[in-house]
Amino acid sequence: MSQAQEDEAYVLHSRPWRETSLLLEVITANHGRLGLVARGARRGKGQAGVLQAFHFLQLRWSPRGELHTLIGAEEIEPLRLPASILPAALYLNELLLNLLARHDECGPVYSIYHHALRRLQAAAALEPVLRDFELDLLDALGFGLTLDKECLDGAAVDPGLWYLYQPRQGLIKIPETVENAMLGHICLAIAARDWSDSATRRAAKRLLRRVLDVHLGQRALRTRELLRGLARMQQRKDRASVEDHGSEASSPQ
Amino acid sequence: MSITPLLEQLIEALRCQPGVGPRSASRIAFHLLERDRHKALHLAEILRQAVERLGHCEQCRNFSETPLCSICSDPRRQSDLLCVVENPAQLAAMDHAIHFRGRYHVLMGRLSPLDGIGPEELGMDRLEQRLREGEIKEMVLAISPSVEGEVTAHYISEMAHPFGVRVTRLAQGVPMGGELESLDSGTLTRAFELRREY
Ligand SMILES: [Zn+2]
């Protein structure tokens, strides 16, 4: 019987397990991503209310094989995300669950996630939070994007020229625009995380989606589909309220 | 007792039920074969009929043997009041506990993209269609207050917006007979936020 371990953690996902238990996927500050079984959590006085996604908890578990056994959970601080933010927050969780394996060392990913959730809770604009998270996550996993230099010769990006980002390689200067090409000033704005311009936000969303898809392989993210559906409804709402104003509502992921 | 191939298949088949492991499966199998062969045959027959004849009501998605279930085809039910529940068990509980005279919509689950359950799996377009038909004035969301429940409620209320339907949600808070000190912080926070005049 090994020693109990303890760490602070966020629940990424919680699902029913056997008759009365829960299977939790969590990300911890120092032990990476873990799978934990909370025995009896769905019985009468169980802790199902606390053991939910986005809850910030101090956890104790006894390690064993692939799935550890949860022995204690206490909420460190209540984190309540409004329902309208939850789909985007679930997108962060889905990315982590797809890009980290259980027991993976994940270094700074925990604090990147912690920071992103705090910003969402503080009602920060959605898109910059998601883009920063995606860029930080790719960095932390060793797939960081270099967007201020060309990948072949390291030449500085010229704001007025066209570039194409090749996943796993980097920026390549191209003579004229093609599909997915970006102007140098957009590349530089993304590198500087300057999200003030909507053209930069749109380009970054497309770029990151392309890069993430390479790492996700064949797995389609189900939260994207949900966010797209919600964005369509938002668009319809906006059209109804301001018929003539050219408002732009696209899904944030 | 040696395990024959047929017995092994029966035990394996019983394990398809949630929460039934190998040990309970063999216990059930032995019981059915040793003590209750008649009931076992009856079970087999009923199960076959249920699987063959029980479909979903085309209006509310509840289990039904007819295209329209008994609630949807009951003319005494109010057609402008709709209660959205997660599953048939909740519908039965609601209909039994309160004198609700409206109609229902059964989602058969909650939106949980991380479990592969999206709007399509829950037939959200069917619910949208009912809203579009224009008869419904108020929609009561009887959906559990979990993360997935919140997402589901949010999605449905966004969907209802263009149709000008009043959307309400069951109150959340202290359960009857509940001890305040034993409530988790989430429940307590909700109960406080949704407090009302006394
Ligand atoms: Zn029906």
Please state the domain extents for chain A: 5-77, 83-238
What homologous superfamily is domain A5-77 in, according to CATH? Nucleic acid-binding proteins (2.40.50.140)
CA–centroid distance, B59 to ligand 1, in Å, is 5
pLDDT of res. B142 = 93
The CA angle A48-A51-A53, to the nearest 5 degrees, is 125
Percent share of chain B, pLDDT over 70: 98
Position B165 pLDDT exceeds 60: yes
Give me the residue from A53, A226, A233 closest to B147, CB to CB: A53
Domain B5-52 has CATH 1.25.40.10: no
Residue with tokens 């604009």: A125
Q: Residue B85: left if φ>0, alpha if ψ -120 to 50, beta else—which one?
A: beta
Position A246 pLDDT exceeds 60: no
Which class does domain A83-238 fall in?
mainly alpha
Question: Of residues A60 and B16, which shows the higher confidence score?
Answer: A60
Give me the residue from A78, A225, A240 closest to B118, CB to CB: A225
| Strand ranges inside A18-139, DSSP E | 21-28, 33-38, 56-62, 67-77
Q: Which residues surround ligand 1, an ion (CB under 5 A)?
A: B 57, 59-60, 69, 72
Helix (H, G, I), strand (E, B) or coil at A215: helix
Q: Which helix (H) or strand (E) holds B165?
A: none
| Closest approach of B16 to chain A, Cα-based (Å) | 12
Say if the Cβ atoms of A52 and B119 lie within 8 Å. no
Q: Residue A32: left if φ>0, alpha if ψ -120 to 50, beta else—which one?
A: left
How many contacts, defined by CB atoms under 8 Å, are there between A and B? 79
pLDDT tens per residue across span A128-163: 999 999 999 999 999 999 999 999 999 999 999 999
pLDDT of res. B182 = 73
Q: What is the CATH number of domain B78-197?
A: 3.40.1360.10
B145 — pLDDT class (breaks 50, 70, 90): confident
Percent share of chain B, pLDDT over 90: 63
Report how far residue A31's alpha carbon sits from residue A107's, in angstroms, rounded to the nearest whole number: 9
Say if the Cβ atoms of A83 and B151 lie within 8 Å. yes
A243 — pLDDT class (breaks 50, 70, 90): low
Report how far residue B9's alpha carbon sits from residue A93's, in angstroms, rounded to the nearest whole number: 39
pLDDT of res. B2 = 67
Say if the Cβ atoms of A222 and B19 lie within 8 Å. no
Domain locations along chain B = 5-52, 78-197
pLDDT of res. A250 = 67
Report how far residue B71's alpha carbon sits from residue A98's, in angstroms, rounded to the nearest whole number: 43
Closest CA to A225 of B151, B181, B169, B3: B151
